Amino acid sequence: MEEPAVEAPGHPAVVRVRARNPGPMTLSGTNTYVVGAAPAWVIDPGPADRGHIGLVRELGETRGGIAGVLLTHSHSDHNAGCEMLGADVLVGSAEPVEELAEVGGRGSEAGEAGVAAEVGPFRVLPTPGHASDHLAFAYGEVCFCGDLILGEGSTIVPPRSAGGSLAAYMRSLDAVAALGASLLCPGHGDWITDPAAKVAEYAAHRRERERMLVAALAAGRRSEDELLDAAWADVPESMRPAAALALRAHLEKLAEEGRLPRDFGL
């Protein structure tokens, strides 16, 4: 049974439909958004699930049809339903990427964080970091932030080999903060009604990981397991592979800043 469509608090033009694809990487499921009316727009159709796409299509039809689809990034839990939905993809890559390691070589490049363009009623803001082609969409005081910021838990920032960049991610957080939005609509989890506080929380979380990693390196720890035990000790074993990706991204950022110990080979 599909979850019912839910209106955004204080913004009835924005409706969320959550896909039935919960899991360790998708959390409670991927959020699809139907925005506006006469016609409506769809942000992130989600997985190729007939029930989910049928509900999204029906909702779009009741709002005067679907003008087009906007994609926050090319991970398959966000874009695999594009073909089934049948509407034109106006922004982003509709080619699903099944493996995180493939992201860097697929889809469009997002460009410089914070440099916005306009499509229909949306400002399109490049927000690379979680993925090289990641975008956010500003709609008045609402920002659709994809997997840059989540409504539950924390997002993955992978290394460059998997399309990520921690340095770019931190700049993207700043770019979204500068929007001054009153509501964030994330790719997973619930509405974020205090965007400034959530962005600050996410930035502080990354800085604290970096502090612990730098301390571990200064103490002579060098192996992946040693560094994960020092800076990601709170992460459950099932998420340790994801933590290893985050570790690599942090090490790349330190290398870019000239802060890695000389005896550390990256």
Residue 163: its pLDDT value, please?
94
pTM value is 0.92
Residue 109: its pLDDT value, please?
39
Cα–Cα distances in angstroms (integers) from residue 168 to residues 98, 179, 223, 231, in the given order: 23, 17, 25, 21
Residue 122: its pLDDT value, please?
97
Distance separating alpha carbons of residues 266 and 11, to the nearest angstrom: 47
Residue 112: its pLDDT value, please?
55
Distance separating alpha carbons of residues 61 and 40, to the nearest angstrom: 8
Residue 191: its pLDDT value, please?
99
Domains of the chain in start order, with CATH, are 6-203 (3.60.15.10), 206-256 (no CATH)
Distance linking the first and last C-alpha atoms of the chain = 48
- β 31-35/40-43 pair status: antiparallel
Contacts of 201 (CB under 8 A, 6+ apart): none
Residue 264: its pLDDT value, please?
86
3-class SS at 241? helix
Q: Considering only CA atoms, which of 138, 90, 132 is closest in space to residue 109?
A: 132
What average pLDDT values come out for the chain (266 residues) when binned by 10 residues? 88 98 95 98 97 98 97 96 94 63 33 71 96 97 99 96 97 98 99 99 98 98 98 95 96 97 83
Q: Which residue stretches of 148-188 are H helix?
A: 166-179
Instruction: Report which DSSP code applies to 223.
Output: S
Q: How is residue 51 written in tokens?
A: 């029930």
Residue 223: its pLDDT value, please?
97
